[in-house]
Structure 1
């Protein structure tokens, strides 16, 4: 059955640009509403539905853009919503930015949604089911050599996500993370606290982009960082991003998604490919 929340709840943090505090307030929504963002700060309170046709990858995060109305930095809140199995919700915003919370993880969003008491609704849940293998490719250059990224979608009865993190320059240890969505609380315990990260040589570049919010980033130097929550925390966070980005499809997916050196760009490429009907079936 579809799921919403029982009552509204706010969640606050700093904008991803590090310029100001921002708050989202999560509200219940009727069955078949989907995920809808509401810009309370703009005249007429325009709405932006969570759909792949509005998805954009900007710099280091994902956004939704409809009629030049921006919803910035969507991946972590969308991962929390999908991770808890919630289908119908309205997210009221006081700026264009979803807040950065709990050190660029999804944990505070998960906690807020649990406080709002998820509740089953009377309409059956619909899925986009992967019925045949599909894949998307991208590539990058490191020290003059080309390296490929690939994201695969394979048929599977349950949502399952695997990520292989591998840097050609060994800036981080090669690591694997795997997540199988067995219960709506599994995401909370296995992935929600995995934090975004940067590598020390990126610090100045990223600081120019996100300002003071960089203070919440996990920083790796010489392949290590202090007080990791899991040995493979970076790979787990890549799964958070993947789940959040695939949420832009607008309905939950059933399949096994395997990413190798992938990121927001490939995630959204896959979301668009599935939504447009190449191997997906809405049931």
Structure 2
């Protein structure tokens, strides 16, 4: 079995790299949902609706590169139905955790530090974003879900994808074995006049029907409704991936869960998306 030379200290640093964008109350809630394997997960810097469980990378290049994101692996387009998105064509096991409730302070912190910067980036107005211009914000979502890969089903899937199968045959894969997602996220915000102007300008390039603007991005899909002057509701149309557990392919060539954890061996896809 390939050994991972991570010390406990290094593992904790890797864990916290993406987690620094989330407030402590939210991280504790995620820990309660995930349980004993929590420290093996790495947080994405920003929530995404792709690159979760069943995403595959090659380990041989100097810099790991992705060869198959989640929905390419199962041969499907990302569904708009949240339940279908979660089930991944029945190729994963799903466990629902307890509900996550955040204080008003934590809701604001999560909104202004994690969610809104990503939205402004997608709208190509990131230079206009200022936390102090967000007068009020509330974040709502349902319970979190843990999803775990079924190794036998995964092997059957990747054998149909030449680039992934080559890595599999060569015992050269890193893969997302499990992830943690939240569903039905809605963010209500009130902003100052200067940010309102920037936000309206950014939204103007996307289709709007009945005062609801739908923003379609390859890695995130959401809609924005303008309720009144300076007041908006942002609804994420698919579940969002928060954290992932990555593993090396074991040296025996299987995809069993005994593979070493590959923390920090793979670029954070949310950062790569942000650089587009």
- What is the TM-score of this pair, normalised by structure 2? 0.28
Q: Which has the higher strand share?
A: 1
> Between Structure 1 and Structure 2, which shows a larger proportion of helix residues?
2
> TM-score, normalised to structure 1's length?
0.28
- Which has the larger Rg? 2
